[in-house]
Chains A and B, each alone.
Chain A
Amino acid sequence: MALHKPEPSNDAGGDMNYLVSMPRKVATIYLPTTVFLIVLLFPFYWMTITAFKPNEELLSQDGNPFWVQSPTLAHIKKLLFDTSYPEWLWNTVLVSVSATFLSLVCSVLAAYAIERLRFRSSRFIGMGIFLAYLVPPSILFIPLATMIYKLELFDTRLALILTYPTFLIPFCTWLLMGYFKSIPFELEECALIDGASRLQILTKIILPLAVPGMISAGIFAFTLSWNEFIYALTFISSSEMKTVPVGVITELIEGDVYHWGALMAGALLGSLPVAILYSFFVEYYVSGMTGAVKE
């Protein structure tokens, strides 16, 4: 039986050097990353070029479809000046920020209580909150609609600000429970010995340590609120109260005529705030998802 002979190494890297040879790097890192990036970014690219293509070019079979021959700002102009897009954007920001803030406050309190107060049946409550997340909005919106009408909140931003937490709180609580669990209990015990109250422990010890987890939960909550469609469609009727996902569809689809340029411009402008938010907090976001404080 022939013995496998190790390949000679060229530098001080030793036996592990084969892992970083260029062909292997290309095959294991660059190629998959490139494919992944293309798949991920192509829709954004398509959205961007469609937003700047004149209508004639959108329908034309001539020329390169992946490039804009004669760029135009007509679709952006139509979106910003011929529709209520700025108002929709403002509504979306207001609703998303408020719902996210409200959900985070509730989730922090809920997650901390379930993880640390050790009251009877806290595990079941934690499980119950998680299960609530599994109820789809397409089932929830009818009973919620009844409540919204009874509370006379129909067609107000408050209808969305108060209903979005129904799916945000369970998710954020579940995420923060995992995060709080990874914070060493000894830190709290020290604070307790020093005479800190539960609220002081939460605000002065736990929350500063849990910032990455809260940012993760916040970004998730913000994105879910930003893209939400079914509640926004059901609970809002007035054009001036609509959010971006519902507004663009109402205004820019006329029967079977889709104003693709303006629709794509709307989607592009609508996705920018979320993309910017992600880019600022991506490191916190990753650490929030992968773990918390190391002991």
Chain B
Amino acid sequence: MSNYTRRDLLKTLGAATVAAATPASALWTNMAHAADAKYQVTPEKGAKLRVLRWKRFVQGDEDLWNANTKKFTEKTGIEVRVDNEGWEDVRPKAAVAANVGSGPDIIVGWFDDPHQYPDKLHDLTPLANYLGAKYGGWYDICKRYGTRDNKWIALPLGIVGNLLVYRESHVKAAGFDGVPKDLDGFLKLCKGMKAKGTPAGLALGHAVGDGNDWVHWLLWAHGGKMVDEKGNVVINSPETVAALDYIRELYPTFVPGTLSWQDPHNNAAFLAGQCSMTNNGISIYYAAKNSTDPKLKEMAADIGHAHFPIGPVGKTTEFMQITQAMLFKYSKFPNAAKEYLRFMWEQEQFNPWLEASIGYVSQPLKAYEKNPVWTVDPKHTPFRDVAQGLMDNGHAYKLGAASAGVMADYILIDMMAEAASGQQTSKAAAERAQKRAERYYKI
């Protein structure tokens, strides 16, 4: 579990200031040669690999991934075929591959996928240790998702940042100079924006990314959690009720319709000018920036990104999508696959790929914080630090089938939506969530 406190934030800001004052090339040289980590595997002769990954978020991501793969083939002679699937559809395919014992050698999946079938995956500990030593170490959240029983069962590729996206002028008009850092201030901002006719809107429908991300933050910010350290379901708690009471006050400030919003709805509503603050990746900003419509271009200049406020627990409690590569034991060429992963995660390949992903994906290894993509446009910069304060969806117990089941069943989002809409009292919504979650954690 990560404990990213205000103190850590100050340290990071200090480090970032030093980094900003130092020439980037010098930092790169220092970083690359600081660790004399070694890792070597001998790929099997005649190896051929098949990789399944999620479909691009931006064209550059896919282009660079394929270019790096081609480079790998040219260098090693190992043929690699990369297939793509919609990001939500990779998960069932990975589950089928794990269960039937056949399929792509490497699958780039999501969240706690590796923890659902850890015995079907190759141990990637030597490779992860090598990369960690060479590139400044893995973020805590990456260790949490990538390891099980002190073994690396997946190689984190990155985090799809999800921050508050807002119209700077509308926030200012509501009387605030940016998004407040505390929950009370955030509520006041939303009320102020509503009063000015420029409301916020955060998804309360079954939105896998946007919905899950912000409701987890809200619950954890109040000190609530789904399970305790022993795996007991404890969602029906005073802290949860406090979070639900908060959302009951927050929800009336939203633009109508958020109860049915899924992942694309807030993008459309924001770009259409229906709402002036939501939570999202960098995609809204890019859609506005790259549009040929002058109104949207104007909007892009007015877009700001901010981290979620900190609640009574006194530390960042954000939750975002993590993506990681899994190497399956059924692979006939595990060494070739490991070599492919090493190659793709090395700075010569990873940095251009990260840059081409224009901020959609944030790095899993600390050294890549220095990638120019984070400073080329100041609106990108908040996405650089998303991995630092993240928590995982299994909090505070281990990740596995139960944590995946609870999230796939949208228990948390439903609880928040029921309380927000007034369909249930805060207490009743928490009780219902408790009963639903217990079914998963009983197994």
A145-B100 in contact (CB<8A): yes
In the complex, the answer to whether A257 meets B55 with C-beta atoms within 8 Å is no
Nearest residue, chain A, Cβ from B81: A238
Counting CB contacts under 8 A, is A90 at the interface? Answer: no
Q: What is the CA–CA distance of A61 and B293 in the complex, to the nearest angstrom?
A: 14
- The answer on a CB contact under 8 Å between A254 and B89 is no
| Contact B85 A254, beta carbon cutoff 8 Å | no
Q: Using Cβ atoms and an 8 Å threshold, which residues of chain A touch B209? A: 256
Contact B83 A257 (CB under 8 A): no
* Residue A67 at the chain B interface, CB threshold 8 Å: no
Chain A residues with Cβ below 8 Å from B89 are 233, 246, 249-250
A141's partner among B87, B96, B281 (CB-CB below 8 A) is B96
Whether B264 contacts A256 by the Cβ 8 Å rule is yes
What A residues does B56 contact at CB under 8 A? Answer: 254
- Do the beta carbons of A142 and B283 come within 8 Å of each other? no
Contact with A along B193-210 (1 / 0, CB 8 A): 000000000000000011
CA distance A257 to B55 in the complex (A): 12
Q: At the interface, yes or no: B359 with Cβ under 8 Å from chain A?
A: no
Residues of B within 8 A of A59 (CB): 268, 271-272, 296
Question: Does A239 touch B at the CB level, under 8 Å?
Answer: yes
Assess whether B96 is in contact with A237, with CB atoms less than 8 Å apart. Answer: no
With both chains docked as a complex, state the minimum distance between the C-beta of A259 and any C-beta of chain B, in angstroms: 10
Report the separation of the CA atoms of residues A121 and B273 in the bound assembly, to the nearest whole angstrom: 67
Tell whether B237 is near chain A: CB-to-CB under 8 Å: no
A87 proximity list for chain B (CB < 8 A): none
| CB of B106 closer than 8 Å to a CB of A | no
Q: Which residues of B contact A56 (CB under 8 A)?
A: 291-293, 296
B274 at the binding interface (Cβ < 8 Å): yes
Give the chain B neighbours of A149 by CB distance below 8 A: 100-103
Contacts of A115 in B (CB 8 A): none
Query: In the complex, what residues of B have CB within 8 A of residue A249's CB?
Result: 86, 89
Contacts of B336 in A (CB 8 A): none
Question: Which residues of A in the span 118-152 have a Cβ within 8 Å of any Cβ on B?
Answer: 141-142, 145-146, 149
**In the complex the two chains form, is A255's CB within 8 Å of B93's CB?**
no
Q: Contact flags (1/0) for B49-70 with A, using CB distance below 8 Å?
A: 0101001111000000000000
Provide the residues of chain A in CB contact with B274, threshold 8 Å. Answer: 61
Tell me if B99 is interfacial: C-beta within 8 Å of chain A: yes
Min distance, Cβ A85 to any Cβ of chain B, angstroms: 15
CA A141 – CA B100 in complex, angstroms? 11
A250 to B52, CA, bound (A): 12
Also in contact, A250 and B86, with CB within 8 A (given A149-B100, A255-B160): yes
**Is B109 at the interface (CB under 8 A from chain A)?**
no
Interface string of A253-284 (1 = CB under 8 A from B): 11111100000000000000000000000000
Query: Quick check: B100 and A256 within 8 Å, CB to CB?
Result: no
- Kindly state whether residue A251 has any CB partner on chain B within 8 Å: yes
Quick check: B264 and A239 within 8 Å, CB to CB? no
Residue B367 interfacial (CB < 8 Å): no
Contact partner, B100, options A60, A142, A237, Cβ 8 Å: A142
Quick one: given A61-B273, A145-B96, A234-B96, are A250 and B57 in contact (CB under 8 Å)?
Answer: no
**Complex: A254 Cα to B54 Cα, angstroms:** 9
- Find out whether the CB atom of B210 lies under 8 angstroms from the CB atom of A256: yes
Which A146-202 residues sit within 8 Å CB-CB of chain B? 146, 149, 154
8 Å CB contacts to B: which residues of A215-247? 233-234, 237-239, 246
Answer yes or no: B312 CB below 8 A from chain A CBs: no
Q: Complex: how many Å from CA A61 to CA B280?
A: 21
Are A256 and B93 within 8 A (Cβ)?
Answer: no
Contacts of B239 in A (CB 8 A): none
- What are the residues of chain B within 8 A of A258 when measuring CB–CB? 264
Q: Which residues of A contact B104 (CB under 8 A)?
A: 237
B263 at the A interface (CB under 8 A): yes
Asked if residues B100 and A255 are in contact (CB atoms below 8 Å), the reply is no
Q: How far is the CA of A256 from the CA of B86 in the complex (A)?
A: 11
Assess whether B116 is interfacial by the CB under 8 Å rule. Answer: no
CA distance A295 to B421 in the complex (A): 61
Q: Known contacts A59-B272, A142-B100, A146-B100: does B267 contact A257 (CB below 8 Å)?
A: yes
- Counting chain B CB atoms within 10 Å of each CB, the highest count among A59, A154, A253, A258 belongs to A59
Inter-chain contact A254/B264, CB cutoff 8 Å: no
In the assembly, what is the distance between CA of A234 and CA of B95, in Å?
A: 10
Question: How would residues 295 to 306 of chain B score, 1 for a CB under 8 Å from any chain A CB and 0 otherwise?
Answer: 010000000000
A142 touches B99 (CB 8 A): yes
The 7 listed contacts between A and B (C-beta, < 8 Å) are A59-B272, A149-B103, A234-B96, A237-B52, A238-B83, A246-B89, A250-B86
Listed in ascending order, the chain B residues whose CB lies under 8 Å from chain A are 50, 52, 55-58, 83-87, 89, 92-93, 96, 99-104, 160, 209-210, 263-264, 267-268, 271-274, 280-281, 283, 287, 291-293, 296, 360
- A sample of 6 more A-B contacts (CB under 8 A), given A149-B102, A249-B89, A251-B55, is A55-B293, A60-B272, A142-B99, A233-B93, A255-B57, A256-B210
